[in-house]
Amino acid sequence: MKILKKIFIVFIMLLFTTIACDKDFLEVTDENRLNPDVFWQTGDHARQAIIGAYSPLANQFAWGRMMIVHTMYRSDATNPIPAQGIVTDAANFSIEPTFGRLQEIWGEFWKTILRANTILVQIPNIEDPSFSDQERNNILGEAHFLRAFQYFYLITLFRNVPLVTEPALSLDEVKNAPADPEQVWQQIISDLKMAQSLLPEAWDNANIGRATWGAATGLLGKTYLYRSGIDNSNEYSQAAAEFKKIVDTEGTLYDLMPDHADNFGNDKENNMESLFEIQHDDNTIGWAADTDGDLRTAAWEPDLAPPGFTSQSGMLINTWVREAFLAEQTTGGEIDPRTFNTILWNEPGIMVYEVPFQEAFSDLNTVGVRKYLDFRPGKEQADFGFAGFPSVINWRIMRYADVLLMYAEAENEANPGSPLALDALNKVRARSDMPQRAASNQATLRQQIRDERVLELLFEGDRFHDLLRWGMIPDAITDELKSNMGGSQYKPGREYLPIPQIEIDTNPEYDQNPGYN
């Protein structure tokens, strides 16, 4: 059951103060206006508020579509057909500060952060005998996690962002200069440690999909790992320690699903391999609104589908991806089964929705995305718009296979050639019947882990950030790999997105990111 099947949004932010007036007849209280005097009173108010904080994650301006474009399209694997600006500009570093789709994701980050800030201030003061300490702590833990989650993506996508940890009571209070990235990272770490201490290991069936101890622990390990690469902080040992906490629960709390494919459909969501995923439904009432009935379908499908099977221009995959998957066989001499879950290519039996691959494309060298496409029976080309027959597949933010590979990476960096690192890598490979690795040194094992991240995790949103933290973007994302768009147009500073121009224009404290001036 999905926690966000029905969203009840509450207005929990008071952005403006009431201006006093000398005229008595103007001093009228609006009894219908939601404010702290009438809202933050009961446990039910707290429950509504935390669901309101989750709400922006799933809509079309965030993980429902735009976050997929701003992460996946920017990697070395994708070479989409140019058409709309959202496709071309995201893929070849051409996004400018005035680009409307940029403002969309920016706004969704801050909605959740400002709501989480208010929850953290208001909920400790609720006096309701029916509101248990455990439930109060769980909700506070969720707020800490959600604030950290949004800041993690803000700093890895935009780098220079304000640090706001208190509810804003006026417009002037949100006009802050960008914080030192170190301060932002430390706030993320602090929030995740708090979330770890307050969140449950699991929720009951009615609340599956809400943040858990495992989600906070996994993101904390990921934070240490990313900082180690992006800012050269050398926190690999801290990362490994956090990941090991999850690994130690294997078989009881988290584990690999029997089949790699179990993670990408809509029939086995929130399974034992999942640490956190964005909950999508099939409500098609609105478009990225922030109200009950908001469109929270997986509307990124038209952006991932290949040419001829989408209302957009179509996504093509660079052929190095196909070659990477076909470079080795299983212990039984078969193609790596993850290939069939990840890409579409010229192989007997491959279908593009309900069309054989050889009929779908005149160029049989075409490679397309398969992962996360909704191949339910009866789905036809006419259904590929943003309504019609919506996809309801959840987007997996982090799963246990990713934790194992991040653990292997962190352990190998902290303890070169660690057998624990090799064991974690081989556990992922064993699930797909791939030959076991036997690295002889740190450098060899490092490369094997990086290669495995492609085979196991490609098109799940982290490839670009892997390249970023490994310092490989200038060399990996070449003009040849972005040939459909006339080259990558990369220049130093554009590994991060620009700050939306409206923020620069309205906030004198803000300077534009390097690379966009």
pLDDT tens track, the chain, 517 positions: 444 444 333 333 333 222 233 333 234 444 444 566 688 999 999 999 999 999 899 888 899 888 988 999 899 999 888 766 566 788 888 889 998 888 889 999 999 999 999 999 999 999 999 999 999 999 999 999 999 999 999 999 999 999 999 987 777 777 789 999 999 999 999 999 999 999 999 999 999 999 999 999 999 999 999 999 999 999 999 999 999 999 999 999 999 999 999 999 888 999 999 999 999 887 655 555 566 556 677 788 888 889 888 877 788 999 999 999 999 999 999 999 999 999 999 999 999 988 999 999 999 999 999 999 988 777 665 455 444 456 789 999 999 999 999 999 999 999 998 999 999 999 999 999 999 999 889 999 999 999 999 999 999 999 999 999 999 999 999 888 888 877 888 888 999 999 999 999 998 889 999 989 8
Q: Residue 370 corresponds to which tokens in the numbers above? A: 């398969």
Looking at 361, 383, 405, the residue that finishes a domain is: 383
Structural domain includes residue 19: no
Structural domain includes residue 23: no
CATH number at residue 214: 1.25.40.390
315 with 417, same domain? no
Q: Rounded CA gap, 40 and 35, in Å?
A: 8
Looking at 383, 414, 435, the residue that finishes a domain is: 383
283 with 373, same domain? no
Structural domain includes residue 132: yes
- Total domains in the chain come to 2
59 with 89, same domain? yes
Listing DSSP states for 136-205 in one string gives HHHHHHHHHHHHHHHHHHHHHHTS------S---SGGGG--PPPPHHHHHHHHHHHHHHHHHHS-S---G
Structural domain includes residue 335: yes
Looking at 358, 383, 408, the residue that finishes a domain is: 383
426 with 477, same domain? yes
Q: Residue 62 corresponds to which tokens in the numbers above? A: 């965030």
Helix (H, G, I), strand (E, B) or coil at 317: strand
Structural domain includes residue 488: yes
297 with 192, same domain? yes
Structural domain includes residue 18: no
**Spatial CA neighbour of 142 closest among 106, 167, 112:** 112
298 with 334, same domain? no
147 with 254, same domain? yes
367 with 424, same domain? no
179 with 154, same domain? yes
348 with 406, same domain? no
**pLDDT for res 15:** 32
318 with 288, same domain? no
287 with 355, same domain? no
The answer to whether 65 and 393 are in contact (CB under 8 A) is: no
Range of the domain at 326: 306-383
